[in-house]
Structure formats: structure tokens, C-alpha cells
Amino acid sequence: MTKSPTGRLIGASLGPGDPGLITRRVWDLLQRPDVHWTYPIRRKGADSYALQIALNAGLSLPSEHSPLIFPMTHDTEILAGYWQRAAETVMIRLRAGQDVLFLVEGDASTYSTFGHLARTVQALDASIAIETIPGVPSYNAAAARVAMPLADTDETVAIIPASYGIAMIERLLNDFDTLVLLKVKPLLDDILDLLERRNLLANAAFVEKAGSPEERVERDVWQLHGQKVNYLSLLLVRNPDRQRGEMIRGCRKKIPFSKKETL
């Protein structure tokens, strides 16, 4: 008997929450009866935000599905164990010749658990084919929602988790025209204090669960001071008064670092 070829592991990006932002490529895969759905959860029995996007699109949870636990921790040793167990779960299906979809909110290449899963699977079997299908990231949907351009002409954009800290955020304000600050929940008050000091509150927008039925938008971001927000929240900050070098033959002249420090 000829051995069946292995299946593919597919990172299926679903967009940030609006089912209408699911791409045609992912939509077609979700219709296939022969693929196995997997999706991340934080703990056993918890809901999956990524799965809910698919269900909100009118799809039914197939009989072939597996939740994969990825706990909320930065401890790499703990996470490695969960990645290993998730990969071993997926490998059973892949070695049986079945394609496996890993449902991802937003985009599978941007701060996604899919990258960890894919690397662990390939460490177990380098012959496994991995496919990543791009999707709409939350910050693109958020920028469209509040009609705030992320960049014009030669402007610069930085996209970082807010957990990098206030000192890093303040340094980036010297070099970037737009900051996208993801997962702002733990430092929100400190970030708002910084924006007030830099006179940037009017140039910021807050979006929580972009595109989902629970979406929350706040343009008067100071009103969020002292409030609790969801983990899936971000701030867009435009920096219109940032000092830029003069244009020389279509390129910006570099500003000496010492001058930036005095701004």
C-alpha cells in the first residue's frame, strides 16, 4: 500500500473580527469538508476569538476540529511545552494526509501564535508543507474605521506591542510619524500621560476588538484614563509635528541623533 502524502498546515488569517474581511482564499478553505480546523484558546474550555469570527460569518463548527491551548504567559519554557503538545496534536492529522487549518484573528504573520506552531511542526518533520494566507491586521481595520491614514508620502510607521515600555514609545515618537501601539491594556494610563505631555491626545485613536460586534472606538482617548480595556485593544498615534530632515533629491536628510535627544 502506498503511503498517503502528508497534509499541509495552513495559517488561515480571518481578519480582525468583521466576517466581511475574510479573504476569498480563506473562505474557500473553510468550506472544504475534508480539512481539520484548529484554533487557539488560552486555557481548557475557554472561548476562541478566532473561531468566533468564523462562526459569526455563518459557518458551523465542523465535526473535525481541535482547540489548541496557548496560555497567556511570557515564560518561554512553559510556552514551549504547549507548542510541542499543539504540534503533536496537529501532526496526527498531517501524517494521515489531512490538511489542517489554524484559524488566526488578524494576520497570521503579525504577532501570531501560528509562527510558533509552524516552527514546532517543522522541527518535528521538516517535510511538512506550511502555507500562510495573509489577512487584514487589526491596525489596518482600526485606521480605516477612524479614517486615520497610517502613512502618507514618505512618512514612517512603527508597529510595536505597548509592553516595550514608555521610554521606548517616547523614543519612537522622535523617529516615526505614526505609532501603532498594540495590546495597550497594561500601560494605558502611562501612555495617555505621555501623549498628554507631548500634546498628542488629539492625534490619537483607541480601538478595541476592531470590526467585531463588540468593537469599541474612542477618539477622546483621555476619557479612557483609569478605565479597564480589553486585551485586544490598540492605540493609533499620529505625530504631525515630528522634526524631519529636509528633502534632498527625493530623500530625507538624516537628523543627527544628538538633535533628536533635545526635542
CATH of the domain at 171: 3.30.950.10
Residue 2 lies in a domain: no
258 has a pLDDT exceeding 80: no
Alpha helices in 10-104 (DSSP H): 24-31, 49-56, 76-95
Residue 1 lies in a domain: no
Asked if 102 contacts 11 with a C-beta cutoff of 8 angstroms, the reply is yes
> For residue range 145-171, what is the model confidence (pLDDT) as tens digits?
999 999 998 899 999 999 999 999 999
> For residue range 69-104, what is the model confidence (pLDDT) as tens digits?
998 877 888 888 899 999 999 999 999 999 999 999
Among candidate residues 86, 104, 133, the one where a domain is terminated: 133
Judgement on whether residues 121 and 19 belong to the same structural domain of the protein = yes
User: The whole model's pTM is what?
Assistant: 0.86
Judgement on whether residues 146 and 256 belong to the same structural domain of the protein = yes
Judgement on whether residues 162 and 118 belong to the same structural domain of the protein = no
Residue 207 lies in a domain: yes
Domain of residue 233, residue span: 138-261
**What is the 8-class DSSP label of residue 137?**
-
Judgement on whether residues 108 and 144 belong to the same structural domain of the protein = no
99: domain CATH number is 3.40.1010.10
Q: How many domains is the chain partitioned into structurally? A: 2
Please tell me the predicted confidence (pLDDT) of residue 251. Answer: 59
Judgement on whether residues 84 and 163 belong to the same structural domain of the protein = no
Which backbone phi and psi does 178 adopt, to 5 degrees?
-135, 135
